[in-house]
């Protein structure tokens, strides 16, 4: 089926009527850097100047490119989109004084003076940032055919099954129809008036029929990631430097896998499952928050049960998939370890060894270790679109001269996102495909959505359990050895290498020590005798209340997935862990 015929099934495109002017220079302004003519005579003035410069860099990094005419991501043949800064005055004030250049590439990555045929188009934008580094961005567009054929008109009504909800005020319930009409009126313009709409339409036109629902990795958005990475590799001359990841090695003796077995085989009390399930059932009933719990030891599943009901009142099942928030960092640490094991990168390599625009031997450029242990100097979660932004590393580069890696510990996700952008270039695969092809599929996972490297994964309790067992096995699962034990040792929490020693906890590569204390133990105790579990118990916390806990020494794991922590979380989780500790045979 050709693109013109496929277009007939996408009625959204027929609503687009656009009028554009040719692309023009769109980066204007005077330098916003601190004047070198000012004599700063004391440390206070120097500090203020440095802070002002840092604020200016961060403000520039947040500047957004938009279209001069709204709703023109999907455009007519005679009209070429014009790309502009959203806040031109701010860009001028911050020092972006050179014009931007827009280059157009078709779906085969051939360059043209302007979009001259129907289909996907990528706009590659080049310029110079206020700090003198190259500025690179790229955007996706879709050009309509000259004569779109007739198409069917699907029902685009969107239902709101949980709105307004049983607790909504009476006035909201009385105006429900009005709110629903407004929301539906906004659906089509929102799709047509956004880059995501162009990405979706281009993906639908290009996608092949599979006879089943598309998996997350088969989505239009992931396909778009592939295009932008391929264009980056081409323009920056990186294709010949790609070093694909090899598949896991085959073990002569299989490592432990999660399986059914007796409590005795697991080294647990005969009533372990009953006691754990009773606490979980009471927890779910008291808080109204459903969840799934998996507890295993020596690979034997002690319990794997679902508790509670979803908002519709239906009982959840063991395949309940939840956003695991920062536990995603542990998953990213595991993915990174594959590259580490195959010597494609090293923990203490500068990111400049991968990103060609980054300055070599600069004290402002962090290492992989610093990015993965929250000492990179970077801050925030989800800034700039994370790993799904085609040019996240360039946005960071545009403020790199004020970055201070290795100075202090500051918990953030941006370092993890940046690491995965580097792994994309190393392996020549977009981020979602790296996770899917080299972790999720080899481990037998289902369809795992993951939209950020630091806090965007959605997993089941069993999938987290398999990852936990992977850690308990020091990098293997079943017949597959993903990394060698000596590589696994390099992931373990260690004292941080920072100038500021005010933070005294150890930090690993996406993991840290998890130390639950026995009742009556001094708060904050680090004595092994005060711990519920072994002193090397590790894992990661989660804003959503999910649990990821591993004690590799006793081959003990606990995972739990839920949408929210729920009320009285601290009280119930303490009782939960106390109960588990009480049924482990010493």
From first to last of its 586 residues, the chain has per-residue pLDDT tens of 444 444 434 433 333 323 223 333 333 333 333 334 445 457 888 889 999 999 999 999 999 999 999 889 999 888 899 999 999 999 999 999 888 999 999 999 999 999 999 999 999 999 999 999 999 999 999 999 987 766 656 676 777 777 787 778 999 888 888 888 888 888 878 877 899 999 999 999 999 999 999 999 999 999 999 999 999 999 999 999 999 999 999 999 999 999 999 999 999 999 999 999 999 999 999 999 999 999 999 999 999 999 999 988 999 999 999 999 999 999 999 999 999 999 999 999 999 999 999 999 999 999 999 999 999 999 988 889 999 999 999 999 999 999 999 999 999 999 999 999 999 999 999 999 999 999 999 999 999 999 999 999 999 999 999 999 999 999 999 999 999 999 999 999 999 999 998 998 999 999 999 999 998 888 888 888 899 999 999 999 999 999 999 999 899 999 999 999 999 999 999 999 999 999 998 7
Cα 311 to its chain centre, rounded Å, is: 27
CA atoms within 13 A on the CB side of 228: 26
Residue span of the structural domain in which 202 resides: 1-206
Please check whether residue 437 lies inside any domain of the structure. no
Please check whether residue 125 lies inside any domain of the structure. yes
Please check whether residue 340 lies inside any domain of the structure. no
Which residue has 């994309």 as its token pair? 424
DSSP characters over 24-93? ---------SPPTTS---SHHHHHHHHHHHHHHHHHHHT--EEESSTT-SEE-TT----EEES-HHHHHH
Please check whether residue 332 lies inside any domain of the structure. no
Please check whether residue 445 lies inside any domain of the structure. no
pTM of this structure = 0.90
Please check whether residue 425 lies inside any domain of the structure. no
Structure tokens given for 42: 């004391």
- Cβ-contact 224, 203 below 8 angstroms: yes
Number of domains the chain contains: 1
Q: Which residues pair with 296 in a beta bridge?
A: 301, 557
Please check whether residue 467 lies inside any domain of the structure. no
Please check whether residue 195 lies inside any domain of the structure. yes
- Taking Cα atoms as reference points, which of 351, 280, 303 lies closest to residue 576? 280
Q: What angle do CA 189, 114, 151 make, to 5 degrees?
A: 40
């Amino acid at each position: 089926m050709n693109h013109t015929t496929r277009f007939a099934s996408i009625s959204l495109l027929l609503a687009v009527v656009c009028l554009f002017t040719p692309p023009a220079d769109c980066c204007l302004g005077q330098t916003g850097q601190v004047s070198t003519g000012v004599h700063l005579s004391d440390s206070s003035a120097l500090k203020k100047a440095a802070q002002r410069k840092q604020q200016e860099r961060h403000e520039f990094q947040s500047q957004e490119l938009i279209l001069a005419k709204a709703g023109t991501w999907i455009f007519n043949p005679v009209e070429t989109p014009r790309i502009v800064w959203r806040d031109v005055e701010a860009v001028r004030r911050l020092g972006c004084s050179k014009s931007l250049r827009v280059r157009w590439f078709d779906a085969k990555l051939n360059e043209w003076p302007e979009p001259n045929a129907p289909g996907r188009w990528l706009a590659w934008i080049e310029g110079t940032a206020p700090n003198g580094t190259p500025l690179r961005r790229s955007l996706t567009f879709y050009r309509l055919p000259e004569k779109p054929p007739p198409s069917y008109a699907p029902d685009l009504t969107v239902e709101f099954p949980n709105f307004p909800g049983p607790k909504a005020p009476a006035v909201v319930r009385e105006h429900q129809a009005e709110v629903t009409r407004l929301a539906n009126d906004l659906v089509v313009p929102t799709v047509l008036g956004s880059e995501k709409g162009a990405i979706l339409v281009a993906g639908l036109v290009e996608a092949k029929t599979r006879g089943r629902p598309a998996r997350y990795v088969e989505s239009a958005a992931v396909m778009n990631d592939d295009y932008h990475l391929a264009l980056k590799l081409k323009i920056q001359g990186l294709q010949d430097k790609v070093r694909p990841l090899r598949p896991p090695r085959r073990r002569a003796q299989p490592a432990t896998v999660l399986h059914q077995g007796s409590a005795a085989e697991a080294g647990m009390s005969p009533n372990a499952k009953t006691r754990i399930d009773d606490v979980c059932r009471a927890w779910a009933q008291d808080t109204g928050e459903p969840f799934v719990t998996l507890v295993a030891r020596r690979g034997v599943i002690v319990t794997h049960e679902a508790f509670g009901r979803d908002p519709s009142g239906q009982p959840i099942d063991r395949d309940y998939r939840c956003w695991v928030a920062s536990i995603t960092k542990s998953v990213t640490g595991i993915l990174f370890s594959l590259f580490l094991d195959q010597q494609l990168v090293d923990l203490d390599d500068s990111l400049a060894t991968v990103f060609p625009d980054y300055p070599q031997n600069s004290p402002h450029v962090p290492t992989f270790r610093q990015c993965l242990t929250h000492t990179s100097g970077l801050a925030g979660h989800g800034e700039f679109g994370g790993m799904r932004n085609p040019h996240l590393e360039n946005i960071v580069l545009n403020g790199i001269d004020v970055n201070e890696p290795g100075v202090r510990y500051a918990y953030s996700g941006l370092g993890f996102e940046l690491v995965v952008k580097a792994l994309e270039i190393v392996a020549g695969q977009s981020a979602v495909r790296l996770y899917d092809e080299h972790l999720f599929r080899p481990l037998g996972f289902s369809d795992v959505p993951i939209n950020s490297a630091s806090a965007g994964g959605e997993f089941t309790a069993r999938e987290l359990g398999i990852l936990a067992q992977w850690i308990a096995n020091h990098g293997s699962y079943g017949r597959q050895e993903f990394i060698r034990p000596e590589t696994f040792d390099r992931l373990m929490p260690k004292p941080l290498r920072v100038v500021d020693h005010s933070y005294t906890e150890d930090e690993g590569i996406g993991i840290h020590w998890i130390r639950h204390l026995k009742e009556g133990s001094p708060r904050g105790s680090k004595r092994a005798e005060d711990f519920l579990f072994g002193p090397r118990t590790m894992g990661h916390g989660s804003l959503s209340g999910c649990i990821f806990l591993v004690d590799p020494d006793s081959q003990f794991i606990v995972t739990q997935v839920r949408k929210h922590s729920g009320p009285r979380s601290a009280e119930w989780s303490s009782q939960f862990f106390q109960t588990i500790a009480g049924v482990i045979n010493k």
